[in-house]
Structure 1
Amino acid sequence: MSDRRPTSVHIREVGPRDGFQNEPELISTPDKIRLIEMLSRAGYKRIEVASFVRPDVLPQLADGEEVLRGIRIPDDVELMVLIPNTRGLDRALSVRDRFHAASIFVSASETHNQKNINRAVEETLSDNEVMARRILAEGLKLDAVIATSFGCPYEGKVPLDRVLGIAERYAEMGATEIGFGDTTGMANPGYACEFFAAALERLPGIELTAHFHNTRGQGLANAYAALEVGVDSFESSFGELGGCPVPAGSTGNIATEDLASMFEEMGVDTGLDLDAVIAAAREAQAVLGRTLTSHSIIAGPVDWTGTLASH
């Protein structure tokens, strides 16, 4: 066991935003509200619930205001929304009293940023600076996300120094948490160790969040590697929902229930009720009408009581 391994972690559930946005069939607003409320009773302290992308670009999340107005969650659960641009921020602030944190974002890869939001990285960062000032003036927590932090299918390996330089700019803007996204599943455990060891050293006082995808089956191994060098903040999606729409084939966030199961079996406290997370994932499976890919939906939690032996 590494002496840097945390004994407890924070897991933000991103399924209601990152997960739902990839679903081709529209999920009804009441179903979204019901699933978010189920998640909120599973022990989460952080849930990402909406994105204020243009409705014509992402119809699946066009009901962000209605979802935020409709959900009823425990007072100690922090709700976060994703803000793509100034227009999206205007929409979000119309329901300012319904969430606690706003997340701004950019891709570390110039090509991915252009294909994803049709903007240059520097243009995006300049707009982020304006939004950051407004977000902080509203008394909201400012989070930042850097997509393609570990690699880009268009440009290959993204230089670590470039990613951390962007992170430092976000810290200067006032972000207290910075997430690093393995947007198209290109990370590996060795590089995850190297990456986060450098990030932790270079960004003291900032909460660093690991967001891995399971596109190539290495998501949990990468999360383990990040944990071993001291990362205690993670994002994942119930049911292994989600992925990146650019490019095609970049499927699969880590399933929250699989991540939580692994950590709990290692003696790392997640604060989550694993049975409740699995129940929410199974309910999402029923709503979507298709089989989801998380292992824990099928196998359930590890049973150390040996109860099957009696059957």
Structure 2
Amino acid sequence: MVKITECPRDAMQGIKDFIPTDIKATYINLLLRVGFSRIDFGSFVSHKAMPQMSDTADLVGKLDLSNTNSSLLAIIANLRGAKDAVDFDEISVLGFPFSVSETFQLKNTNSTITESLLRVEEISELCHQKSKIPLVYLSMGFGNPYGDEWDVEVILNYTNQLVSLGIKEFVLADTVGIASVEKINDLYPHLKTEFPQCNWGIHLHSTPDTAYEKAKAAIAVGCDQIDSALRGFGGCPMASDDLTGNLATETLLTALEATKTSHDVIDMNAWKEALNYSNKVFAN
């Protein structure tokens, strides 16, 4: 059973022109009706670093959770952001981007890996106190363009440290689109064997021509949760100027159907409404 995390936050965050909060809310409310397991809807991070997400606190109050099975996931980068996020009953999951590349961790969260481990420890403790789920993205999980050390042992080492801090939800993130079918096939069996108590997801940034095969590989190795974004919008604005997009949700659904893999039940009428409305959200 593959659960899907739809990622409007990741799709919107790099857009320079501010998307009005009411438009964001309408779009996310449509996505909440589709049937995704989770909606990665916003982030509590520096407004200067990510101005598009500066209205996340206001956005929460405009979301209708009365008729959805989807849970809300918010991104945080430090304890301050986590404290802001846990005050909202509507938010179930807090996601922290932990890079296995020192260079990118400094670029993305202005902290070293050692400092980030301390942040994760604090955030994990807070989440458990407030009955939230702490999730860690292993950013640059398939390698990095900076020459920082990367291999299976690096991933296993940091995962072991994070598990000791109370983390059981992980998403291996292909931040700059350099994952391959071979890397997916190599990494996940190690992770699922070494840490069977954990939930293992994947967040792929990809060009359209390679996305389908990568999605099929993620399904084949038994990813528990797969992130995607409608039409493949978005990417990571902190990584590069010439980004590939997110794995398109429609590509993921095609791969799930082709492999006869059970997944979240999708309301196709709600899906079409969200698809049509996305033209207004991403008009720029």
Q: Which residue of 1 aligns with 2:261?
A: 268
**Map of 2:250 onto structure 1:** 257
Give the Cα separation in 1 of the matches to 2:205 and 2:68.
Answer: 30
Structure 1 pair 216/110, CA: closer, same or farther in 2 (3 Å)?
farther
TM-score normalized with structure 1 length: 0.85
C-alpha spacing 1:248/1:120, structure 2 compared with 1 (3 Å): same
Paired position in structure 1 for 2:274: 280
CA separation of 1:132 and 1:35: change in aligned 2, threshold 3 A: same
Given that 1:147 and 1:180 are in contact with CA atoms closer than 8 Å, whether structure 2 keeps it comes out as: yes
> For the residues of structure 2 that align with 1:59 and 1:207, how far apart are their CA atoms?
31
Matched, 1:101 2:93: yes
Task: For 1:1-311, list aligned pairs within 5 A.
Answer: 8-15=1-8, 17-73=9-65, 74-94=67-87, 96-155=88-147, 158-215=150-207, 217-245=209-237, 246-270=239-263, 271-274=265-268, 276-289=270-283
What number of residue pairs does the alignment pair up? Answer: 281
Q: How big is the alpha-carbon RMSD for the aligned residues of Structure 1 and Structure 2?
A: 1.7
Gaps of 5+ in 1: 1-7, 291-311
C-alpha separation between the residues in 2 aligned to 1:268 and 1:277?
A: 19
C-alpha contact 2:101 2:149 (8 A) present in aligned 1? no
* Structure 1 residue identity aligned to 2:277: E
Shift of 1:264: 1.7
Q: In the TM superposition, what is the alpha-carbon distance from 1:37 to its structure 2 partner?
A: 0.8
Please, which runs of 5 or more residues in structure 2 have no aligned partner?
none
Q: Which amino acid aligns with 2:254?
A: S
**CA-to-aligned-CA distance 1:216-271 (integer Å, 9 cap, x gap):** 74232122112212223211111211111122112301011221122123322322
Kindly indicate whether the alpha-carbon contact (under 8 Å) linking 1:239 and 1:282 is maintained by their aligned counterparts in 2: no
Question: SS at the partner of 2:105?
Answer: helix
Amino acid at match of 2:163: A
Q: Relative to 1, partners in 2 of residues 1:234 and 1:223: Cα closer, same or farther, differing over 3 Å?
A: same
Q: Give the deviation of 1:119 after TM superposition.
A: 1.5
Q: Distance in 1 between matches of 2:269 and 2:255?
A: 14
Shift of 1:48: 1.1
Check the 8 A contact 2:127/2:133 in 1, yes or no.
yes
Identity of aligned residues (%): 27
Whichever of the two has the greater Rg, that structure is: 1
Scaled by the length of structure 2, the TM-score of the pair is 0.93
Give the AA of the match of 1:90.
K
Q: Match for residue 300 of structure 1?
A: none
Question: Contact conserved, 1:214 with 1:220, CA < 8 A, in 2?
Answer: no
Of residues 28-37 and 263-272 in structure 1, the stretch that sits farther from structure 2 once superposed is 263-272
CA contact (8 A) 1:135 1:141 kept: yes
Deviation beyond 6 Å, 4+ runs, structure 1: none
Maintained 8 Å contact 1:9/1:233: yes
Q: How far 1:278 moved relative to its partner? A: 4.3
